[in-house]
Homo-oligomer: A and B are copies of this chain.
């Protein structure tokens, strides 16, 4: 599959490297970036046989491009995804699918009109071995019906974070992965603001406690703490009627030294789901080659956007905010 990549920043370069050196079945044949010099540099650095396009839309329409990867700035995602749909080409779009729920809705409508599954959004946790093992436990009924979920999203620090980014940049991953894990939709949300850590900048509330309710009545309690200092720590505990299941923690060397038995905790979020990125993109290449799409869909991106909007309103108002998710079209049901 010949792939065109729009956006050659850090994530774009990572994906190009993956496709070229680690994964099978795909080839980067075209790139574009607002900074054309950077695009050219990447082609040269990674020794690609790829054409550099000045414009993402031209790349999308190019004959040699079978499928598109969008890793440009979030503001441009919507137009490139719509353009890919218009060209009838599979598109893998990094989060967010669009910067507004309205934008996501337009993408959903375009894909519905087109009638082919073309869009995948880059929520990689669904491809993480740990989350998959946890989902299998739930699906196999090992702990009975789930009643509650406790989860934790902690970063050591979040340089550059402003305003609501702990929700819009960090918590969105939980929003996506928990819907998939529980096969359920959200109906309400409440946001609680604990005592603020002195390690967060003045204009960023940190930590948050976010309470989500699902259609089945499952209650999710999520801590989002992005200046937690000690490490990047993602935890997820599902409480079922008959037992409890925990997301596996990364394995590590157990050390006994200096009066402590310890295991290292990751400090960099990139390392936590590093394998999931590979699996995700490999799965997309394979599926897209066959005209299929298994990963997070445009619909998932749309629901995620609606939910995040509700979180922000709940944070602003301090109240319990209803989440109104439209009926899922037949096309998107699995």
Q: Check A241 against B134 for contact (C-beta < 8 Å).
A: no
A218-B195 in contact given A137-B255, A230-B259, A264-B260 (Cβ < 8 Å): yes
Q: Check B218 against A194 for contact (C-beta < 8 Å).
A: yes
Is A123 an interface residue, CB under 8 A from the partner? no
| Bound form: Cα–Cα A134–B259 in Å | 17
Is A258 an interface residue, CB under 8 A from the partner? yes
Size of the A side of the interface (Cβ < 8 Å), in residues, is 67
Q: Check B257 against A242 for contact (C-beta < 8 Å).
A: yes
Q: Check A248 against B251 for contact (C-beta < 8 Å).
A: yes
8 Å CB contact of A239 from B156, B221, B225, B263:
B225
A252-B248 in contact given A194-B147, A209-B221, A218-B195 (Cβ < 8 Å): yes
Q: Which of A19-27, A31-39, A68-76, A295-303 contacts B (4 or more CB under 8 A)?
A: A19-27
A255-B243 in contact given A147-B207, A195-B217 (Cβ < 8 Å): yes
A229-B245 in contact given A142-B257, A265-B260 (Cβ < 8 Å): no
| Bound form: Cα–Cα A129–B129 in Å | 15
Shortest CB–CB separation between residue A102 and chain B, in angstroms? 31
Shortest CB–CB separation between residue A197 and chain B, in angstroms? 5
CB 8 Å contact bits of A116-140 with B (1 = contact, 0 = none): 0000000000000110011001000
Q: Check A252 against B143 for contact (C-beta < 8 Å).
A: no
| Bound form: Cα–Cα A228–B241 in Å | 6
Q: Check A243 against B264 for contact (C-beta < 8 Å).
A: no
Q: Check B253 against A241 for contact (C-beta < 8 Å).
A: no
Q: Check B256 against A231 for contact (C-beta < 8 Å).
A: yes
CB 8 Å contact bits of A179-214 with B (1 = contact, 0 = none): 000000000000010111111000000010101000
- New A-B pairs, 9, CB < 8 Å, besides A148-B207, A229-B241, A243-B257: A21-B24, A145-B198, A148-B225, A150-B221, A192-B211, A195-B218, A230-B256, A230-B259, A246-B255
Chain A residues in contact with chain B, CB under 8 A? 20-24, 129-130, 133-134, 137, 142-143, 145, 147-148, 150, 156, 192, 194-199, 207, 209, 211, 216-219, 221, 223, 225, 228-231, 233, 239, 241-267
A-B pairs with the 9 shortest C-beta distances? A243-B257, A195-B217, A262-B262, A194-B219, A248-B251, A244-B256, A246-B254, A251-B251, A260-B262
Listed by A's residue number, 19 A-B pairs whose Cβ atoms lie within 8 Å are: A23-B24, A130-B253, A133-B252, A148-B209, A194-B217, A196-B217, A207-B239, A209-B221, A230-B256, A230-B257, A230-B260, A231-B256, A244-B255, A244-B257, A246-B254, A247-B253, A248-B252, A251-B251, A259-B265
